[in-house]
Structure 1
């Protein structure tokens, strides 16, 4: 797939060296989450600001970004560092305080300001924001963790102003990372993989199939995005630009596009 005009800036950044660097960080997700999520946050800011610049011709500084599933604050620091006004939405207070820097912070109320950015405890399936109220709505690796991912997508579109950007990035189930901490055993089936993990470790996986992890395909995401009339581009998040053609290959993309980015621009 050739980069569209809106992804042109980011396509130049999507090199093989970047892909290798990000892939190397994945092994630290469980053991050193601060290292992993800080690197991912920095790369995400670059992706979002590149997409904004391509779409509008303007700097993203001063714009409001709503991050659905913002977690413990790594993304907040990165976006605020880029000059954007950050609002994080996180339904689980345990996730919100998973980072060491947040561990001593009292439990989140309905809204909480914690240094970098603002935070709201809420579900991405029912965002407590007015229509057309933010410039950018981002969801990074969340859609595969909710039972109704396209309801999440519709909510993201609802709160984003016309001419703004929705950036929905998620892990494709049949890709190599679809099983999350269960590894490649998800190819045996999600329920079986979760049972194997439980027998081996003595507890259910954090990303437990059927409750906190669901089989979301690339085809379903593309079908939903096209049905909205707002899709402007789609590409594999962690691949170099010369591999973006995989997004347009039915069947093959389910296994090779490990993380799909859907970029929509409401009108």
Structure 2
């Protein structure tokens, strides 16, 4: 369902993906890639974590770091990244790589769960509001196993206001839309409210257009 909804969002901004080249960066087991392919796109999955690919990843999946994709410049009509930005230590370098592999005029789709979202702590949310270490310790006590994520290692505190300022200052992309990914109403309105947006947006979706070099 999430894959269908996400591809619907892509097509709302660039039209049908049929026949287009799509690069899915950090797509895990590949359900986004498979949905793009179902609609006729030439979609390719690049995932850095072999364990995330699962036992049956899509054909042609590549184990690759999002900081350094094994692709030439401008190869993609659409570069897609769902819930990855909060897991990289250097979001701006990651965004630069997404822009690099996107053709001028092409679309970059980036969504992430911001730190102050009720889900910002992922499996140990919403207790991250009381501190990351306390939240992780509570998770381990409750489940009897260590949490998958550790703040500063594979989960980072990414904020909406700072991210918007950084993206708008870039010269390789322009912001087409900044909205809540899941809200059915006021999706762009909530992102325009400083302070409130850090809690209420839940998940920020950025639709970016690749600028000419």
TM-score by length of 1: 0.74
Deviation of 1:200 after TM superposition, in Å, equals: 2.7
1:186-235 C-alpha deviation (Å, 9 max, x unpaired): 10122221222223323221122222211111112211210114222111
User: In structure 1, what is the equivalent of residue 140 of structure 2?
Assistant: 198
User: For 1:49 and 1:152, how far apart are their aligned partners in 2?
Assistant: 23
Matches within 5 A, 1:180-191: 180-191=122-133
User: In structure 2, what is the equivalent of residue 77 of structure 1?
Assistant: 34
CA contact (8 A) 2:181 2:187 kept: no
Matched, 1:257 2:196: no
Matched, 1:177 2:119: yes
User: For 1:243 and 1:261, how far apart are their aligned partners in 2?
Assistant: 10
RMSD (CA atoms): 1.5
Matches within 5 A, 1:157-172: 157-172=99-114
User: In structure 2, what is the equivalent of residue 236 of structure 1?
Assistant: 180
User: For 2:207 and 2:164, how far apart are their aligned partners in 1?
Assistant: 10
User: For 2:41 and 2:186, how far apart are their aligned partners in 1?
Assistant: 30
Deviation of 1:183 after TM superposition, in Å, equals: 2.2
Could you list the runs of 5+ residues in structure 2 that have no partner in the other structure? none
Deviation of 1:180 after TM superposition, in Å, equals: 1.1
Matches within 5 A, 1:129-140: 129-140=71-82
Could you list the runs of 5+ residues in structure 1 that have no partner in the other structure? 1-38, 54-58, 106-112
User: In structure 1, what is the equivalent of residue 94 of structure 2?
Assistant: 152
